[in-house]
Amino acid sequence: MKKAMLLLLICSILIFSVACGGSADTESGQVEASQESVQTSESAQPSRAEASRVLVAYFTWADNTENPEGVDEMASPSVHAPGHVAQLASWIQERTGGDSFSIRVTEPYSSDWDECLDRANQEKAEGTRPELVETVENMDDYDVIFLGYPNWWYSCPMALISFLEEQDFSGKQVYLFCSHGTGGLASSVEDITEVIPDANISDNVFDVYEEDASSSRDEVESWLQELGY
């Protein structure tokens, strides 16, 4: 009788030990699985480097003139900050999360439109490459470039050509956006393509009449949505 009770007690102890051990292993497995899930979730998030592979580069008259304070804002709004193209660029930068770069010349243009236009016409006729204040040093970090400009003399400003020639755009995806008057895009897309023939320039170009630029945010965002942003 005593032997039978002793055997029963030993069996009960063994069963309890196995049950407890199994529970501990299960809990350990659940913890490990949870940790793996957290690590997987974290690794799925884009890194800061991946999020900054978009560059929004643009030329705007407002960033390339002197003494705009003396110009009537109603008569010539594009000379006042942020300027038409800069406004478009800010919305694109906000939506894409990319980096922003304003193309600026060392010799500012006149804030008088007629004088500015005369110089722009002369630069185009002579094929001038205006010297820039600075350029993008880490262009290799970007694979998508949004490139903005106004229509100057039925093309893009020659300062934009200076910027393009200083960089290697081979294989980069380029999206163009333009503010213009009655001339529309004119030959700007063809001229840009000629300078960077190895870039992938999208046919989906955003252009807007200059007087409508400041109120075109919805159109810009619709365009970006078409592009996948």
The conformation of residue 83, written as its DSSP 8-state character, comes to -
Instruction: Tell me how far apart the 2 most distant CA atoms of the chain are, in Å.
Output: 118
* Helix H or strand E encompassing 44: helix 2-44
List average pLDDT for each run of 10 residues in the chain, which is 229 residues long. 45 43 43 40 41 87 77 50 90 97 97 92 96 96 97 96 97 97 94 98 97 95 97
Residue pair 183/151 in contact by the 8 Å Cβ criterion: yes
Residue pair 102/60 in contact by the 8 Å Cβ criterion: yes
pLDDT at 129 (0 to 100): 97
Residue pair 73/33 in contact by the 8 Å Cβ criterion: no
The conformation of residue 132, written as its DSSP 8-state character, comes to B
How far is the CA of 23 from the CAs of 33, 39, 77, in angstroms? 15, 24, 73
pLDDT at 55 (0 to 100): 98
pLDDT at 83 (0 to 100): 83
State the Cα–Cα distance between residues 31 and 43, nearest whole angstrom: 18
pLDDT at 69 (0 to 100): 54
